[in-house]
Amino acid sequence: MATRTSSRTIIMAGTALLAGWCGYLLVGRVHHAAALRRDAMAAAIPDVMVIIPHAEARQVNLDLPGTIDAWYQAPIYPQVSGYVRMWYKDYGAHVSSGDVLAEINTPGLDAQFAQAQADLQSSQAKYDLAVVTAQRWRLMGKSQAVSGQSVSVQDANEKSAAADLEAARHNLDRYAALERFKIIVSPFDGVVTERDINVGDYVHEGGGNLNANGGASELFSVADTHQMRLFVSIPENMSYILQPGLRARVHVPQFPDRVFEARFLTVSGGYDPDTRTSVSEFIIDNTDHALWPGTFAAVSLSAPEQGGHLSIPTGALVFQEHGMQVAVVDGQNVAHFRDIAVGRMGDGATQVLSGITPADRIIDNPPADLLEGEKVHVVQPMAGYSNDVSEKDDE
């Protein structure tokens, strides 16, 4: 009897233990399912960071590359063919207007000049003879000793000789002018930046030394550097800053600690269809001749901003087929897409002309699969990532 009671007790204890274990497993599964359900619901709501639009600065700053050129720069080519007799100015020489740069020996031209002088003398003699002959025939015509036709012929011969004489004079003037081109002179005050000839080089009319491809180079290049021209390509959306009185700060590699000031002069008035930029020109005083033609320049422009527009990070833009949008979070943390009009677009920030207000919370880098009216969870980024974010939503 005692054995039966002991067995029954063991069976009941085992049954209770099994029931407790099953209950534990069931409760654990229920809790696990609830946790999974909570995680799934949380994962279904995307985490987003928001920014607040801010007003643009009153000054717009623009850093662009530029090129510095001489105020005047002239490549000098020969107008006559011959051999270089001597050059007198080398690289870097400071020259005045009319200074002799080189001389060219032109035996062929000298012979043609002498021929032109002889032709003029011959034409002069023929003209003198034609004048005397015509005068005699006109006298004989008055006495009816010769026919009127003969007198007309002699008058025509006189006019023809006069025309030949005039042509000979012009031909001689042409060769005399070419003779003066044997002396290469500086066209203005400046500095010699190129010298591409040597004594004995053959140069031809309209060009310097011939290369293997038949091209010709200039003999000299002279630059006037008392002032310099700065050329900067201004983007289309920033061309409004080009106004009289605009100043630019210029840095050049050879003088890292020096700042040059450039004054706005003019703008091309058209845009390059490939780059959508317009060439603007500035003036830099160069009294100490520190700047050289061809220098690369880093140009900083600063001008008052147009209107009181808002600015947002470029990453907040949503590009749609029908236009530009941003995703705005309302008071219930629901996302809504809003159409906007943009102005200047940069790598970091974009100017917004209309469509948002300073109080809007805009999603920065919105998810690609974000839908209109979708619930979102606003999170706060790590310190240092963004300054214009809202506090974490309390749910």
The CATH number covering residue 236 comes to 2.40.30.170
Q: Are residues 232 and 112 in the same domain?
A: no
Q: Are residues 244 and 299 in the same domain?
A: yes
Helix (H) or strand (E) holding 157: helix 148-180
Tell me the pTM: 0.61
Residue 11 within any structural domain of the chain? no
Distances (CA, A) of 293 to 31, 66, 126, 188: 79, 12, 57, 16
Which structural domain, as residue segments, surrounds residue 357?
Answer: 309-379
Q: Which residue has the higher pLDDT, 333 or 58?
A: 333
User: Using an 8 Å Cβ cutoff, are 372 and 350 in contact?
Assistant: no
CATH number at residue 364: 2.40.420.20
pLDDT over 80 (residue 346): no
Give me the pLDDT at residue 354, please: 82
Residue 353 within any structural domain of the chain? yes
Give me the pLDDT at residue 389, please: 37
What pLDDT, in 10s, does the model give residues 2-28?
Answer: 566 677 777 777 777 777 777 767 776
Q: Are residues 339 and 287 in the same domain?
A: no
pLDDT over 90 (residue 226): yes
Q: What phi and psi, each to the nearest 5 degrees, are found at residue 93?
A: -70, 135
What pLDDT, in 10s, does the model give residues 312-326?
Answer: 888 888 887 778 888
Q: Are residues 344 and 240 in the same domain?
A: no
Residue 47 within any structural domain of the chain? no
Q: Are residues 195 and 116 in the same domain?
A: yes
Q: In angstroms, rounded to a whole number, what is the distance separating the alpha carbons of residues 51 and 386? A: 8
Residue 2 within any structural domain of the chain? no
Give me the pLDDT at residue 212, please: 46
Q: Are residues 121 and 195 in the same domain?
A: yes
Helix (H) or strand (E) holding 338: strand 335-339
Give me the pLDDT at residue 376, please: 84
Residue 338 within any structural domain of the chain? yes
What pLDDT, in 10s, does the model give residues 272-325?
Answer: 899 889 999 999 999 999 999 999 999 998 876 666 678 888 888 888 777 888
Q: Which residue has the higher pLDDT, 24 or 253?
A: 253
Q: How many structural domains is the chain composed of?
A: 3
Give me the pLDDT at residue 332, please: 85
pLDDT over 70 (residue 238): yes
Q: Are residues 298 and 342 in the same domain?
A: no
Q: Are residues 180 and 199 in the same domain?
A: yes
Give me the pLDDT at residue 245, please: 83
Q: In angstroms, rounded to a whole number, what is the distance separating the alpha carbons of residues 252 and 258? A: 8
Single-letter code of the amino acid located at 188: F
Give the residue among 38, 53, 54, 46 at the shortest CA–CA distance from 378: 46
Q: Are residues 287 and 313 in the same domain?
A: no
Q: Are residues 298 and 257 in the same domain?
A: yes
Q: Considering Cα of 252, then 253, then 254, then 259, what sign does the dihedral take?
A: positive
Average of per-residue pLDDT across 214-225: 80
3-class state of residue 241 by DSSP: helix
Average of per-residue pLDDT across 138-163: 78
Across the chain, mean pLDDT equals 82
pLDDT over 70 (residue 37): no
Domain end call among 208, 243, 272: 208
What pLDDT, in 10s, does the model give residues 375-393?
Answer: 888 887 665 554 443 333 3
CATH number at residue 166: 1.10.287.470
Give the residue among 117, 124, 116 at the shortest CA–CA distance from 164: 124
- % pLDDT > 70, the chain: 83
User: Using an 8 Å Cβ cutoff, are 222 and 190 in contact?
Assistant: yes
pLDDT over 80 (residue 125): yes
Give the residue among 19, 64, 13 at the shortest CA–CA distance from 296: 64
In the beta sheet, which residues pair with residue 345? 350
Q: Are residues 232 and 294 in the same domain?
A: yes
pLDDT over 60 (residue 116): yes
Q: Are residues 315 and 300 in the same domain?
A: no
